[in-house]
Structure 1
Amino acid sequence: MNKPLPLHHTLARAEALAAVRYHVGVDGGGTGTRVKLADAAGRVLGQGEAGPSALGQGVAQAWRHILDALQQAAGQAGLSPVPLAECALGAGLSGANLLADAQDFIRTQPGFAAVLLENDGFTTVLGAHGGRPGVVVAAGTGTVGEVLRPDGSRGIASGWGWITGDEGSGAWLGLRAMGHAQQAMDGRVPVSQLAVAVWEVAGRDRESILAWCAAAGQHGFASLAPRVLDVAEAGDKPAQALRMQAVVALEQLAHSLDPQEELPLALAGSIAKRLLAHFSGNIRARCVESQGDSADGALLLVGSALNDKTGTR
């Protein structure tokens, strides 16, 4: 590609860029944060993990977990503590499309020489295809799809959030599993393996289930998804129906991003990968192995932006 990759939000202190010795790639979602620390040539030196850094769960929490994961990575690289002023950070975060949260994240950055913020779907598509054109359907705690087209343009679908959208995600599956379990408790539908699996987590009486739902949040509902898929594999019909609904939703997402089905397709996230065997033959035929993950894509974002700013592109 001959032009800089587009960024939603950037912050770079030009006078500080000469001090950059390390690149930091962040993949942040509703369940956890993964950080890769690399040298200026892009060679990964260490990795770290911490709690969620989706911006919808709070900007302060996002920065806290990013810094925790970065220090783990720095320790692995023998650089602890890594000086932030010598780091350029690229972050692919869930919720980065919400302008107010993105601006707050940039405004409160703790001293990096540069911060580049994108949604995690775009850094995932960059990492999966090595910065080249392609499609990614990512379904884990949430769901989002991204396409990077040959002309450098891009598109996004889904990623509307777990309350109103994110079809096919872990939270989406969990919400529907809970609805089924509640109906089974009422006697509105027969008791199934799926209902029992939910009760084992949330409780076997009305009061316990109401309390669990009130406290669960996105991560809590997503934690039910592996149980949905486990009992589906064991032959439970309601769970199999939910699994098929998720497959259909993710296939629709892939088609919306590349209607001509011309670009390579990579799957990301625990739910998408677990559903692969149930996708149609055409979808499976288009799937390619990801070259890297969202944190790798964030590192590509940093390298591209810094090269452009320093005139080396």
Structure 2
Amino acid sequence: MDTSLTLCVDGGGSGSRGRLVDPNGIAIAEAAGGPCNPTTDLAAAVAAISELWLQTAGQAAIDPAETGPHRLAIGAAGLVIPEVRDAFADALPAFASTTIVTDGYAALIGAGGGRPCCLIAMGTGAVGHKLMADGRSLQRDGWSWIGGDRGSGAWIGRHAIEHALLARDGLREAGELAAVVNQAIGESEAAALAFLSKLTPGRLAALAPLVAAASHAGDQAAIDIHEHASAHGAALVRALNPAPGEPLYLTGGLSDVLGGRIETYIGRRFDKAQGDVLNGCFLIASGQAPAEVRVIL
């Protein structure tokens, strides 16, 4: 009788979640932790995994030193570069088995239950995935906050800062959005420059709620940023080229903020996801869904 447990982890640029499940995928413990993006901060990503294990093992009355009988399944941001992925795997606690996939792929599997479908994830980053009938997957965007992640929380935060600084220079109207963002990054020149020197995707995405509040209050600059972010989300859907009737899912922290606008752009509604990244991690680790095999088309 299999008594092993699986720690499933959803690792993102702004924070992480862990769920300890039994062999049937039933949750017995859950926890939240810090950012988990090995590309931007390997040590912090490893620390987040260790902390999630400590928390969930404690809830389940398991000695956290006894990792040997149990499995680890991670869907995390920042895992495309092989050297980073290998360094991350080598630094993790030793479990009976460790499954590591990108967070977007885990979300794809969780949303569709392992069946062919398309998904866009709009959170700290932005990425699109398509699972094909032969088990291979296609990815679009996910090019990081500097080169891509168009329409993401980091993208929204970066454009909010640009707007605020243009207003500071007298080149944009200093409305609600400019005021709250300038306050957040520091109203003195030195404070603003210090903030900008330490930018990460998570710090940029942390400004996205300010944009949402300003948009809700009617600030035109904030409304425009959301409109452009939604247009990028729609373009990401088109890049996946879903077939007529093929399930299409939207996940991520910006789903509620941008979902309706994206649906208007693409002329269809998103389907209701069957599960999330954590469900996808379990399905992959237990062999009920294909391992991640990426294809370039």
Residue 60 (str. 1) matches residue 43 (str. 2): yes
Runs (4+) of structure 1 moved beyond 4 Å?
Answer: 305-308
SS in structure 2 opposite 1:155? strand
CA RMSD in angstroms comes to 2.2
**Aligned-pair distance for 1:225?**
0.8
* Corresponding residue of 2:25: 42
Pick the structure with more helix per residue: 1
* Corresponding residue of 2:61: 78
SS in structure 2 opposite 1:288? coil
* Corresponding residue of 1:145: 128
Which of 271, 274, 284 is the aligned partner of 2:254?
271
**Aligned-pair distance for 1:169?**
0.6
* Corresponding residue of 1:8: none
> In the aligned structure 2, how far is the partner of 1:135 from the partner of 1:82?
39
**Aligned-pair distance for 1:84?**
0.9
* Corresponding residue of 1:128: 111
**Aligned-pair distance for 1:259?**
4.4
Tell me how many residue pairs correspond in the alignment.
291
Query: TM-score, normalised to structure 2's length?
Result: 0.91
> In the aligned structure 2, how far is the partner of 1:284 from the partner of 1:80?
52
Which of 264, 268, 271 is the aligned partner of 1:285?
268
> In the aligned structure 2, how far is the partner of 1:263 from the partner of 1:277?
19
* Corresponding residue of 2:295: none
Query: Which structure 1 segments of 5+ residues have no match?
Result: 1-17, 309-313
User: What's the CA shift string for 1:61-96, capped at 9, x where partnerless?
Assistant: 212111111221222223343621111111111011
Contact kept in structure 1, 2:3 and 2:22, CA below 8 Å: no
Identity %: 32
> In the aligned structure 2, how far is the partner of 1:282 from the partner of 1:242?
15
- Match for 2:53: what amino acid? L
User: What's the CA shift string for 1:6-59, capped at 9, x where partnerless?
Assistant: xxxxxxxxxxxx987111211101111111111122222111111011111333
SS in structure 2 opposite 1:55? coil
> In the aligned structure 2, how far is the partner of 1:213 from the partner of 1:204?
12
Where do residues 95-110 of structure 1 align in structure 2 (5 Å cutoff)?
A: 95-110=78-93
SS in structure 1 opposite 2:79? coil
* Corresponding residue of 1:182: 165
- Match for 2:155: what amino acid? W
Query: TM-score, normalised to structure 1's length?
Result: 0.87
Contact kept in structure 2, 1:264 and 1:286, CA below 8 Å: no
